[in-house]
Amino acid sequence: MVRCAFCNGEGKDPFHLLSYLATCQVCSGRGIVNLQEPAIKCVYCNGSGRNPNDGRITCPVCFGKGAVSVDKNSAECPECHGTGKSRESKLPCLKCKGKGVVKK
């Protein structure tokens, strides 16, 4: 379990889009999210849980959690060199799906 990156563990919608009392859509108001271990910080959003291209929506790689589960035997992605981003665009790398690591 890790602290929800999208709402900073507060459990409330950080943008108050529906109402001031609305709960966070990522953690359902709990402030924490479940992740299968081992988990690493999401390199695509730098652990913020927000899409780097539009900060008001969740990261397409970690889905707002700020971290991603990886395989124990992982190595840096040879395509994006661990950045999680495609060289041609601002989209997630297709080889590692934005995680920055691939299975060995």
* pLDDT tens profile 11-44: 998 887 777 789 999 999 999 999 999 999 999 9
Using CA atoms, how far apart are residues 57 and 49, in angstroms rounded to an integer? 9
Residues 18 and 28 in one domain: yes
In the predicted structure, residue 49 carries a pLDDT above the cut 80: yes
Using CA atoms, how far apart are residues 96 and 77, in angstroms rounded to an integer? 6
Q: Return the pLDDT at 16.
A: 77
Residues 48 and 95 in one domain: yes
Which residues span the domain enclosing 28?
Answer: 1-52+88-103
Residues 12 and 32 in one domain: yes
Q: What is the pTM of this model?
A: 0.82
Which residues, listed in sequence order, are joined to residue 3 by a DSSP beta bridge?
A: 32
* pLDDT tens profile 54-73: 878 999 999 999 999 999 99
pLDDT band for position 87 (50/70/90)? confident
